[in-house]
Amino acid sequence: MALARLSSIPLELQYLASKNLAPSDLLALGQVSTHWRAFVLSDKRWVEWFAAIVSYSNETLEQCLTRFNILDKVTPRQMVYLCLRESCAVCGGCASKLYLPHIKRVCEACLQGDDFTVLQYAPALAKYDLRERDVQLTRLLTLEWINPNRTSKRPLKLVSESHVKEIAVRNYAGSETLLNKVLEQKKAAARRTYTARSEDYRSAVSAREALQEKGSIEAAEAVVLTHTGRKIPKAFPTYPPILLPAKAVDREVVCFAPRRMVEVGGEVVVDASEDNKDESEA
């Protein structure tokens, strides 16, 4: 009854009252009911507070998310909440960084765990024998990153290995044991196939070269692969992607370290005490 009366307050008064609420209070209000959740989500101050989030290198969070091409994958409210709550999503300790592939706060110690390994997109899918179609309808977050140490300015697609692995496990009825067993079988089959194709290629090339040395050009051109009966390809057989090592990317690359944010008078601002501390140390 009381909740119903609260919701019946004129909309203008609801907005007027909400102007005095800090983000943490708004988040609590949004958990009261569906009506108040929609009301809280419609508050335009989330965008303003989001725009105020900045790193120690003076890059705004909006610029960082745009750089990784994931700005449309998050909400301002979600990011403001993460920047106000400094606890690690794993251990509950103090976490100074946002791990972007999971959109979570993670402390330095937990960040070194296997759950936060970062791989390039294609090698990650190959490692778990997945195809594009297997991840299209999932919530796999893909970040685009331009490596400053490479001459190419084409962005690399990065993903969390643990998220890719979760998708692969689901494909095998949630059994990681079954997944590992199938992957080992496929790797063994890929090795056998690659070995056979490589030997067939070398044998055919040797036979062709021997005929060419004898001057039998037509016979040399007629040499084909033994197993398939096809012409000799121009390039040596490619190594199976499932057997290639997936080299991990430095996980610090996909982290954002926001400056400490505090709530003052219903607003979100950068903690000025950090600036004073830096000045005193200098």
Q: How many domains does the chain have?
A: 3
Shared-domain flag, residues 71 and 129: no
Q: Residue 257: which of 116, 86, 50 has the closest Cα?
A: 86
**What are 119's strand-pairing partners?**
159, 248
Indicate the pTM of the whole model: 0.80
Say whether both 82 and 15 belong to one domain.
Answer: yes
Residues 61 and 79 in one domain: yes
pLDDT of residue 15: 62
Is 180 found in the same domain as 168? no
CB 47 within 8 A of CB 251: no
Asked whether 130 and 164 are in contact (CB, 8 A), the reply is yes
Task: Tell me whether residue 106 is in a domain.
Answer: no
The pLDDT value given to residue 81: 85
| pLDDT in the model for residue 282 | 42
Same domain, 167 and 180: no
Q: Count of CB atoms within 10 A of residue 33's CB?
A: 14
28 pLDDT band, cuts 50/70/90, is confident
pLDDT in tens, 72-131: 999 998 898 888 888 999 999 999 999 999 999 999 999 999 999 999 999 999 999 999
State residue 1's pLDDT score. Answer: 45
Residue 203 maps to a domain: yes
Same domain, yes or no: 234 and 190: yes
Together in a domain, 80 and 16: yes
Q: Are residues 80 and 14 in the same domain?
A: yes
Say if 108 falls within a structural domain: no
**pLDDT for residue 38:** 75
Residues 165 and 139 in one domain: yes
Domain for residue 105, yes or no?
no
**Which SS3 state, helix, strand or coil, does residue 226 take?**
coil
Residues 165 and 227 in one domain: no
Mean pLDDT of the chain: 86
Q: Judge if 216 and 180 occupy the same domain.
A: yes
- Residue 143 pLDDT: 97
Q: Is the pLDDT of residue 209 over 60?
A: yes
Give Cα 17 distance to the centre of its chain. 39
Residue type, 80: V
The H-assigned helical ranges of the chain are: 2-7, 11-18, 23-29, 34-41, 45-51, 61-67, 76-84, 108-111, 121-127, 132-135, 161-170, 176-213, 217-221, 272-281
Do residues 17 and 80 share a domain?
yes
Give the closest residue to 85 by CA, choosing from 23, 19, 18: 23
Distance, in Å, from the CA atom of 234 to the CA atom of 22, rounded to the nearest integer, reads: 67
Contact between 223 and 211 under an 8 Å Cβ cutoff? The reply is yes
Domain membership of residue 123 (yes or no) is yes
Q: Is the residue at 4 inside a domain? A: no
Average pLDDT over residues 186-203: 96
Residue 82 lies in domain: 10-86+260-281
Give me the amino acid identity at 2. A
270 pLDDT above the threshold of 80: no
Is 103 part of any domain? no
Is 3 within a domain? no
